[in-house]
Structure formats: structure tokens, C-alpha cells
Structure 1
Amino acid sequence: MKINKKGSQLTPVLHLGAGACAGIIAMSATYPMDMVRGKITVQTEKSPYQYRGMFHALTTVLREEGPRALYKGSIVGLNFVVYESLKDWLVKSKPSGLVQDSELCVTTRLACGAAPGTVGQTVAYPL
């Protein structure tokens, strides 16, 4: 367990929450630029827009599609964050029957895969 500045230990749930929050913040900051880079990479002569660079692509997307367009598809990153955080927490806390020899059983892995999908759809639905 990690020790914070006050000398107390972080519980597994707090550790999971902190990791998930860090992942969400990092993804929120970097995903728009990654999406714009992807648009520039796949453009062809027949593409509806011909981007001249990152800034031009970013301003065009914002003007034509709005700010929500910068985060469409980012839910995949959130799914990975939730899945990995949940899996790591389960392996470290070792609840009875769910972890065998530092590996999650098949049903637990399936549940870990279903949870991010549920969280992702809940977060993305308003978008």
C-alpha cells in the first residue's frame, strides 16, 4: 500500500479511485489532439476537409462539429482505464474465489470487461 503525506495508508478503493481519476484526466487532456492527429493522418484528396495542420484541424472541427466532437470515441480509453484499475485492485486485494495464483478466473475477467462497458455507456450516453 502507498503512504500519503499524513502517514496514513491508502485503501484499495481509494487507490482504485485515484488511478481511475488520473486516467480520466490524462485521457481528457490528450484525446482531442490524438483525434485531430488521426483526422489529419487519414485525409485524402477526396476528404471533405483539407487540414493544413493541427491548429487548423482543431479549429475546423470545433467550428463545424462543436466541442463534443473532440471527445467522441474517447470512451474506449475510459474503458481501458476502468478495466485495468478494477483488475489490478482485484489481484491486489485477492477476494476469495476470484483470484487464483495471481490470475483472475474467467468469470471475474468477464465481469471486469462488462463493468467498463457499463461505465462507458453511462458516461457517453449524454454526448
Structure 2
Amino acid sequence: MIPFLTVAENVAIALQVNDVGRQQAQLRAARLLDALGMGHRGSNYPSQLSGGEQQRVSIARALANDPTVILADEPTAALDGTRAEMVMKVFRHLADSRNVAICVVTHDTRWMTYFDSTLELEDGRARG
């Protein structure tokens, strides 16, 4: 994240660089932050957030431009169980409602039920 921008500005800028107008970008940023439980922190700066909060803002920014593919490496590592589940539900919703392909790398097997298929790597070998 850009340290001198607020949380909301960090999400909105991802839209603005793709020619989304400022007002529309701000509205979309607010909706994404709300969906990830971060709406109340929009005016804070990255340095004022915990690691888990920074992680959720980064996820909001990654989702800002409606990607068709999301590659997420340990997206819930710094989150507590409730917030991690919130992120997984957002991913599941995107997969179902917008046909987004989501690839998550995780050591946390609690989230396997959120995905259509899984691939387990052990000792350099893949099992599916």
C-alpha cells in the first residue's frame, strides 16, 4: 500500500489508474472495504492498521477492478478465524456470481470446502 494515502484512497487509486472517475472510485472503494469489514477504517493510513487489517485492505484493492482471475498466497494468514472466513466467503461469492477463477495457496485446511477443487502438494508431489 501507498503509505501517504488513506485506506480508502489506496483502494480508489487502483480504479482511478484505470480511468474510473474519482467519485465512482470512492463509492466502489467504500463498498469493498465494507464487504471486508474495513469500512470504519477508510480514513486511516496503512501505518495505523494491524497486519490483518492491512491484508484485508490489500484484498479490497486487488478486487477493485473486477479481476477475472485472483491468485492469493495465504490471504488469511494474518487474520483471525472470523475475518478469514469473511474473506473466503467474499472469494466464494465472486466465484459464484461473477465467474471469477480463484487460486488460493494455503496451509489452512479449514477453507477447503469453499473451493470447487483442491490440489494438495506434499513432498514435491501433487494429489488432487
TM bucket normalised to smaller: under 0.3
TM-score norm. by structure 1 comes to 0.28
| Higher helix proportion (structure 1 or 2) | 1
| Higher strand proportion (structure 1 or 2) | 2
* Greater Rg over alpha carbons, structure: 1
